[in-house]
Structure 1
Amino acid sequence: MSSGIQGAISMTAPLDVPGSATEPAPEAVLAGADRKAIQGRSLGQIAWMRLKRDKVAMAGAVVIVVLIIVAVFAPLIVNLFGHPPLEFHREKIDQSTLVPKEPFGGISWDFLFGVEPQWGRDIFSRVVYGARISLLIAFLATLLSTVIGTTLGVIAGYFGGFVDTLISRAMDVFLAFPLLVFAIALAGVVPDQAFGLSGDTLRVALLVFIIGFFSWPYIGRIVRGQTLSLREREFVDAAKSLGARSPYIIFRELLPNLVAPILIYATLLIPTNILFEAALSFLGVGVRPPTPTWGGMLAEAARYYTVPHFALFPGLAIFITVLAFNLFGDGLRDALDPRGR
């Protein structure tokens, strides 16, 4: 019996006894820990990793960057590849039909997008310069609506009660307001010189005010809903228990947690503003000709339906810009809020 027990013991695996050969040395454990140290990632780094994996969103971001570069360096691009946007080239126009003499609208290496009917202006140059007006109005209007909507949305959601009721009813009034009719009426009433501004500067400022001031309820309602949820969280209760006042809680506790939805909705609001500016220019109440805008070019092209290239290129510019912002906005939403997919 004793020999059987000894045999069973000898067949079992040896135990790690302190000081034995099977126990790993402390220096080896520490060296391995140094080589495989785990590095933490911030929420911004995690969101950036998710966004980089979304190839469609990154393609939209690249297109947006290219459009911004084109808008900023429009004079340089036109000098290299086109002609001044207000320069006439009547020699390329058939005066009897007012359409380009050459086939395909006069598209050539000298005129990449061809020439306009009647006047013979370079369509490429006008599309490039039109990007400056459209993007400038869209960005400024989005900034204005985001600031107003975020401020009133946070105030309504945090304080509640009568303040929430008053701001919410104001949102309902603005959402029910016929914005397009008001824009047409206001643009027609304002004179050529007002508020110390004139010309294109006045028209751009007027469009930014109309689009931005009357579109803030859309982002305001989203911010209000998020604030109503955040104000019940533990970190807000902890800040109140430590004696923090309302301005501190709003700016240091609530707003940092609202950055993601604000950025997401702002990127989705920009293409809407681009389309609205194009619609106003198409109706003749935007920036006045001969200043080139995408909507204004489409309005002029409507009279020359037999010359399709005239409407094709500004229409493609609007389509590509809106699509790029929408794709990037969707990807940004998935990266910052993956649970909402």
Structure 2
Amino acid sequence: MSTPLEVEPGSSSAQPEALLEGAGKIEGRSLWQISWTRLKRDKVALAGGFVVVFLILVAVFAPLICKIFGVTPNEFHQDLVDPSLQTSIAKWNGISWDHPFGIEPVNGRDIFARIVYGARISLLIAFLATIVSVVIGTVMGIVAGYFGGWIDTIISRLMDIFLAFPLVLFALALVGAIPDKLLGLQGDSLRVALIVFIIGFFSWPYIGRIIRGQTLSLREREFVDAARSLGARRPYILFTELLPNLIAPILVYSTLLIPTNVLFEAALSYLGVGVRPPTASWGDMLSTAANWYQVVPLYMIPPGLAIFVTVLAFNLFGDGLRDALDPRSR
């Protein structure tokens, strides 16, 4: 037998703990901490996130912003409009220190104030419709993916029916048939609730399909089997075990669904079935600009640019968030 190797007590090999003295503790990081670290590296996504936060602040503090600039969205400035409308282009559509984005043709309303107030309508409808569709789609997707069988078949066919539904035509027909007062709502409140219902209730299958696919893979995982073996009931498994693991795809798809809803609201307002004038809306401003394009072409730029920047910012932030939460998708 070979003689055991003797190591002097004072050597570093004899006390490996001494090598770790002064080294900091290794702390584990959660999924959200790791995702935030990845997201901070994506400068484009951060820029989109800052623009999103800025737009939300503009929408929330629209009255204060307009008060600081001394403008109002529905005040007519007939004295600033040339009756012939032939000199508006030479005057840059009335752009001045008092009216940074100029004034509308014919009635002379301030474009800057209407853009700011239009952000309230667009973002409010987009966020509310997204919440409705996410809640319905998440519940239906989890139920279909977890239970399977005939329940999955019924919900999946229901998704196919909603996806094949002509949403724009239905919106045009429904808005024309709804009276001016319904369920205690009237005016802009009724129009906003109606648009939120149309967008949210008929767009839930998009996120429902994603949640269903994720649930089909999660229901076979070990933690779900462990919950079943411990006697956990189905509602507990659905909303305590599965739902927390679906937060990431829900959050990512929500950020990508909001710009789609902004575009849909603008399209409805453009077609005349959105909020009613004189309430400011980006789609309605584009519709009016189309009628005066040959006389005042600059009037189309502010609302079009507002929609473009909003949709681009949400898409960039959503793409960056998706890459941060699921780097395998890159």
With the shorter chain as reference, the TM-score category is over 0.9
Partner Cα distance (2:252, 2:145) in 1: 19
Q: What amino acid is aligned across from residue 315 of structure 2 in structure 1?
A: N
Matches within 5 A, 1:232-243: 232-243=220-231
* Structure 1 residue 36, shift from structure 2 partner: 2.8
1:313 aligned residue: 302
Residue 94 of structure 1: SS of its match in structure 2?
coil
2:246 aligned residue: 258
2:314 aligned residue: 325
Mark the CA change 1:99 to 1:72 in structure 2 (over 3 Å): closer, same or farther. Answer: farther
Aligned-residue RMSD, C-alpha = 1.7
Q: What amino acid is aligned across from residue 162 of structure 2 in structure 1?
A: F
Partner Cα distance (2:253, 2:57) in 1: 23
8 Å CA contact 1:98–1:117 kept in 2: the answer is no
- Identify the range of structure 1 (142-151 vs 235-244) with the bigger mean alpha-carbon deviation: 235-244
2:132 aligned residue: 144
1:10 aligned residue: none
* Structure 1 residue 102, shift from structure 2 partner: 5.8
Unmatched 5+ stretches in structure 1: 1-14
Unmatched 5+ stretches in structure 2: none
- Identify the range of structure 1 (233-242 vs 125-134) with the bigger mean alpha-carbon deviation: 233-242
8 Å CA contact 2:7–2:13 kept in 1: the answer is no
1:8 aligned residue: none
1:301 equivalenced with 2:289 (yes/no): yes
Partner Cα distance (2:101, 2:154) in 1: 52
Mark the CA change 1:184 to 1:178 in structure 2 (over 3 Å): closer, same or farther. Answer: same
Partner Cα distance (1:23, 1:278) in 2: 71
CA deviation string 1:160-212 (max 9, x = no partner): 11111111111000000000000000011111111100110100000000000
Partner Cα distance (1:24, 1:250) in 2: 52
* Structure 1 residue 96, shift from structure 2 partner: 2.5
1:63 aligned residue: 51
Q: What amino acid is aligned across from residue 81 of structure 2 in structure 1?
A: I
1:214 aligned residue: 202
Partner Cα distance (1:18, 1:93) in 2: 96
8 Å CA contact 2:77–2:109 kept in 1: the answer is yes
8 Å CA contact 2:126–2:261 kept in 1: the answer is yes
Point out the structure with max Rg over C-alpha. Answer: 1
Residue 21 of structure 2: SS of its match in structure 1?
helix
Residue 293 of structure 2: SS of its match in structure 1?
coil
Residue 291 of structure 2: SS of its match in structure 1?
coil
TM-score if structure 1 supplies the norm length?
0.92
Q: What amino acid is aligned across from residue 133 of structure 1 in structure 2?
A: I
* Structure 1 residue 97, shift from structure 2 partner: 2.9
In the alignment of these two chains, the number of paired residues is 326
1:169 aligned residue: 157
Partner Cα distance (2:111, 2:86) in 1: 15
CA deviation string 1:17-62 (max 9, x = no partner): 4444434685x94584343321211111000000010000000000
8 Å CA contact 1:134–1:274 kept in 2: the answer is yes
1:340 aligned residue: 329
1:87 aligned residue: 75
Partner Cα distance (1:99, 1:255) in 2: 60
Partner Cα distance (1:24, 1:154) in 2: 55
Q: What amino acid is aligned across from residue 322 of structure 2 in structure 1?
A: R
1:22 equivalenced with 2:26 (yes/no): no
CA deviation string 1:48-107 (max 9, x = no partner): 000010000000000000000000000010011241110011111111238748611111
Partner Cα distance (1:21, 1:136) in 2: 71
Q: What amino acid is aligned across from residue 318 of structure 2 in structure 1?
A: G
1:292 equivalenced with 2:292 (yes/no): no
Matches within 5 A, 1:273-292: 273-292=261-280
> Which structure would you say has the larger RCO, counting Cα contacts within 8 Å and 6 or more residues apart?
2
Residue 104 of structure 2: SS of its match in structure 1?
coil
TM-score if structure 2 supplies the norm length?
0.95
Aligned counterpart for 1:38 among listed residues 16, 23, 26: 26
